[in-house]
Amino acid sequence: MDADAQDRAFMLISGFRVTQMVRAVTELRIPDLVAHEPRSADDLAASAGVQAEPLRRILRCLTAAGVFVETEDGRFAATPISECYRDLPGTLRGPALMLPSESYEAFGALMHTLHTGEPAFEHVFGMSRWEQLAQDPAKAAIFNAAMQSGTEQVRDAVASACEFNGMGSIVDVGGGRGTLIAGILKANPHLRGTVFDVEAGLAETDAYLKQVGVRDRCEIVSGSFFESIPAGHDAYLLKNIVHDWNDEKAAIILATCRKAMKPDACLLLVEQIVPARAEDSAAIPPHLHGRRSDAGDAGRPRANRRRISRVAACSGFAADAGDSNRFPIPADRSGPCLARRRLLATQLPPNPTRPDGRAQRPNGDEERTHRIGQKHAGISKRQHGKAEQI
């Protein structure tokens, strides 16, 4: 048996240990405590309020994993990896706190998804992800922080690549804390904005927009994008929304946007594009995001161009405008954790032949669709993501 293959195979089945250790030291802010100088396990334990010996063992394990460095005198120092878990804008601190908790448990029930085709999250917790967030402010805060950290890596790239000249107002649908729209408003002083989300997603939006200095130019509106969206604005932005719903629900979301739009308004979709073929890559494969058991429909891919065009077209948008409505973003404009990715946004105008914005059943063999007429009681997806093409 190949020794290297065996080592990697073992890491694949034991990686959960490192995942939980990373979560623990991130929660204790150990990466911040060692950021400027090496510190001993006893010193770190005293600062964090935990036992020294268990912390020492965890730090040594994470040193072996490349997260920290142990000095000759037994102290622990920072590395570029530990910097990614610091409590700073654009780092992975939010995901490090979120993913190893609820999502971790849901993936433990992955066999339920394989046997039933249903989301494992609902099987484990007895409710959808979005229902849980609406009921638990603490979990909602962790989720919002994770989404914010991802958006902070790409908001400047999106703001600089997309064309906002001639627009007066923009709505960020499912915008959470307002991280993306804040970047857009700062880059475009003539614009006014609206952050639209469910109440759980807006808990910290007012404070955040005041902190970054754009609150006077941005409204905050709560609601469900399955029902209605603020009307009469020039642009409607959805970032990492379409990917998390099946064709049926995605079409309803876009149709709700279409009903709210003026004839000359546009829809701006920002999504991660799944490549046609899975490849071994040092970058995080989008398929790992697209085969989630914690939310949305089990086994549903994030997005591809054909699917986006199809769902948009059936919701009342001119989705066949060609490449002139696509905005590639060079990789060097993205955040440090996305340096190997290229961003892509798609801007779609309303289809004048479909003024009603009715959602029709999408066709095609890429997605299994359901009857659109059934009742939906979904809760807004607030995931701050990025439009990427690996």
Look over the chain and give the mean of its residue pLDDT values, rounded to a whole number: 77
* Angle separating helix axes 41-48 and 52-64, nearest 10 degrees: 120
pLDDT tens per residue, range 349-379: 676 655 455 545 444 433 322 222 222 223 2
Residue 205, SS3?
helix
pLDDT tens per residue, range 303-316: 566 777 777 777 77
H helices of the chain, in order, are 3-27, 30-33, 41-48, 52-64, 80-83, 93-98, 104-107, 110-116, 120-125, 129-135, 137-161, 179-187, 205-211, 247-260, 286-290, 305-314
pLDDT tens per residue, range 210-233: 999 999 999 999 999 999 999 999
User: In degrees, to the nearest 5, what angle opens at C-alpha 380 toward C-alphas 377 and 382?
Assistant: 160
Answer yes or no: is 130 within a domain: no
67 and 174 inside one domain: no
Which of 61, 83, 105 is the C-terminal boundary of a domain? 83
Answer yes or no: is 119 within a domain: no
Residue type, 382: R
65 and 206 inside one domain: no
From residue 164, alpha-carbon distances to 157, 184, 328 in Å are 13, 9, 15
Answer yes or no: is 98 within a domain: no
Confidence category of residue 39, pLDDT binned at 50, 70, 90: very high
Q: How many distinct helices (H) and strands (E) make up the chain?
A: 16, 10
Answer yes or no: is 120 within a domain: no
**Structure-token match 């959960």, residue found:** 16
Exposed, middle or buried by CB within 10 Å (0-12, 13-18, 19+), for 274?
buried
169 and 316 inside one domain: yes
The sign of the torsion formed by the CA atoms of 32, 36, 41, 46 equals negative
Nearest to 387 by CA among 350, 333, 317, 349: 333
Answer yes or no: is 113 within a domain: no
Residue 92, SS3?
coil
Distance, CA of 118 to CA of 69 (rounded, Å): 42
pLDDT tens per residue, range 271-302: 776 666 665 444 444 444 443 434 334 444 45
The reported pLDDT for the residue numbered 354 is 52
Total number of domains in the chain: 2
Answer yes or no: is 146 within a domain: no
What is the token pair recorded at 198? 């469910």
Confidence category of residue 335, pLDDT binned at 50, 70, 90: very low
What is the token pair recorded at 219? 């409204």
Which of 83, 116, 135 is the C-terminal boundary of a domain? 83
Residue 191, SS3?
coil
Nearest to 311 by CA among 265, 244, 378, 262: 244
pLDDT tens per residue, range 9-24: 998 898 999 999 999 9
264 and 352 inside one domain: yes
From residue 363, alpha-carbon distances to 249, 306, 353, 355, 371 in Å are 14, 11, 19, 20, 12
Please give the residue range of the domain that contains residue 176: 153-389
219 and 332 inside one domain: yes
Give the phi and the psi of residue 89 in degrees, each rounded to 5.
-60, 140
The reported pLDDT for the residue numbered 304 is 65
Which of 83, 115, 131 is the C-terminal boundary of a domain? 83
**261 alpha-carbon distance from chain centroid:** 25
The residue with greater pLDDT, 264 or 219, is 219
Answer yes or no: is 12 within a domain: yes
The residue with greater pLDDT, 381 or 74, is 74
60 and 181 inside one domain: no
The domain that holds 68 is classified in CATH as: 1.10.10.10
Residue 69, SS3?
strand
The residues carrying an active-site annotation are 243
Distance, CA of 181 to CA of 164 (rounded, Å): 12
212 and 70 inside one domain: no
Answer yes or no: is 132 within a domain: no
The domain that holds 230 is classified in CATH as: 3.40.50.150
55 and 165 inside one domain: no
221 and 359 inside one domain: yes
Distance, CA of 386 to CA of 338 (rounded, Å): 10
Q: How many CB atoms lie within 10 A of CB 308?
A: 21
Distance, CA of 358 to CA of 351 (rounded, Å): 11
70 and 162 inside one domain: no
Distance, CA of 88 to CA of 298 (rounded, Å): 33
pTM higher than 0.85 for the full model? Answer: no
178 and 74 inside one domain: no
78 and 158 inside one domain: no
